[in-house]
Amino acid sequence: MRVFVTRQLTDGAASAMGDLPASVEVFEGGGAPDRSELLEGARGAAALLTMVTDEVDEAVLDAAGDDLRIVANHAVGVDNIDLAAAAERGVVVTHTPGVLDEAVADLTFGLVLATSRRIGEADRMVRSGTPWVWGPRVLIGLDLSAGATLGIVGLGRIGMAVARRARAFGMRILATGSRASSAEARDLGVEPADLGALLDASDVVSLHCPLTDSTRHLIGAAELRRMRPGAILINTARGRVVDEAALVAALGDGTIAAAGLDVFEHEPQVHPGLLKLDNVVLAPHIGSAGEATRDRMGQLAIDNIAAVLTGKDPLTPVSA
């Protein structure tokens, strides 16, 4: 049996690969395998350990063939995998929920602070040698603790971790999603809202929904117009949840004040309009990039593979 791992894992996770009941081939190229390298690596594999950037479609599943038992995604999101095609072929799909919530919430709040207090602009101003002197009106931003409202779109495990941070900052918290009416959410002071009401009332809107057919371009021109003129959009979910061209326009004409983005519609390409704007903070999809978190993600993916290859139930299957 052979396991194909599409990227070098962190050291903490890589050491666990020795326990797998199979030979392990790790993609050795510098970055991600291209299409033909992915198809070639998948050939005859019993397990694939994949990343968000690997498009696991029918062709990849068929390249692996009848030996393939599991696709273990090194991510909580599984929009890169054709789940129906995997199910048709009896292939188990797993992901890494739970182990990355705090890391993604930290990065989310980093972007909330960077945009609300204009840290990117401040850094560029100082770094460029622009003359400056302390002044009451210099780089004025939004006070989170002065009654600002955070709107969490898609309150799940990660959204809940973001809500805990927002509560510590004294923010009012609105959220969409069935979990917004749970006792856990109520205890955190979360108020359930539909998307329209949330957009109307929030100073900061943070996206935490998975990418599905119903969330693709959930935030487009109309939704951006519905946000407050001083509002900030944060996206650490998936780029395609936002219509990026509409966002560029909204940031450029003052429809909204700023955005903090860890994900992009055509990743790793970034809309050229975003690169020209000063009121955007950009990160290269590093939401879960804490060392311990990445160790846990890799370990969980490996544990799922070990379970399935030894005839046990996967630990964290993707529910169909």
Q: How many CA atoms lie less than 13 Å away from 269 in the CB half-sphere?
A: 8
Cβ nearer to ligand GLV, comparing 52 with 199: 52
Residues 6+ apart with CB under 8 A from 286: 107, 262
Cβ nearer to ligand GLV, comparing 101 with 223: 101
Binding site for ligand GLV (CB under 6 A): 52, 75-77, 100, 287-288
Q: In the bound complex, what is the minimum distance in angstroms from residue 80's beta carbon to ligand GLV?
A: 9
- Choosing from 238, 240, 294, 296, which is the catalytic residue? 238
Region of 140 on the Ramachandran plot (φ > 0 left; ψ -120 to 50 alpha; else beta): beta
Q: In the bound complex, what is the minimum distance in angstroms from residue 296's beta carbon to ligand GLV?
A: 11
SS3 53: coil
- Choosing from 37, 55, 191, 267, which is the catalytic residue? 267
Q: In the bound complex, what is the minimum distance in angstroms from residue 100's beta carbon to ligand GLV?
A: 6
Cβ nearer to ligand GLV, comparing 175 with 301: 301
Q: In the bound complex, what is the minimum distance in angstroms from residue 166's beta carbon to ligand GLV?
A: 21
Distances (CA, A) of 190 to 127, 160, 208: 39, 9, 15
DSSP letters, 71-116, are EEESSS--TTB-HHHHHHTT-EEE---SSSHHHHHHHHHHHHHHHH
End-to-end CA distance of the chain, in Å?
26
Task: Record the tokens describing residue 112, joined without a space.
Answer: 């909330």
DSSP letters, 182-229, are SHHHHHTTEEE--HHHHHHH-SEEEE-PPP-TTTTTSB-HHHHHHS-T
- Structure letter (DSSP) for residue 148: -
- Select from 102, 82, 73 the least CA-distant residue to 304: 73
SS3 158: helix
Q: In the bound complex, what is the minimum distance in angstroms from residue 158's beta carbon to ligand GLV?
A: 9
43 phi, psi to nearest 5 deg: -55, 120
Cβ nearer to ligand GLV, comparing 39 with 286: 286
267 in active site: yes
Task: Record the tokens describing residue 301, joined without a space.
Answer: 């993916």
Cβ nearer to ligand GLV, comparing 103 with 232: 103
Residues in a beta bridge with 190 = 173
Q: In the bound complex, what is the minimum distance in angstroms from residue 55's beta carbon to ligand GLV?
A: 14
Residue type, 266: H
- Choosing from 179, 285, 294, 296, which is the catalytic residue? 285
Q: In the bound complex, what is the minimum distance in angstroms from residue 52's beta carbon to ligand GLV?
A: 5
Active-site positions read 238, 267, 285
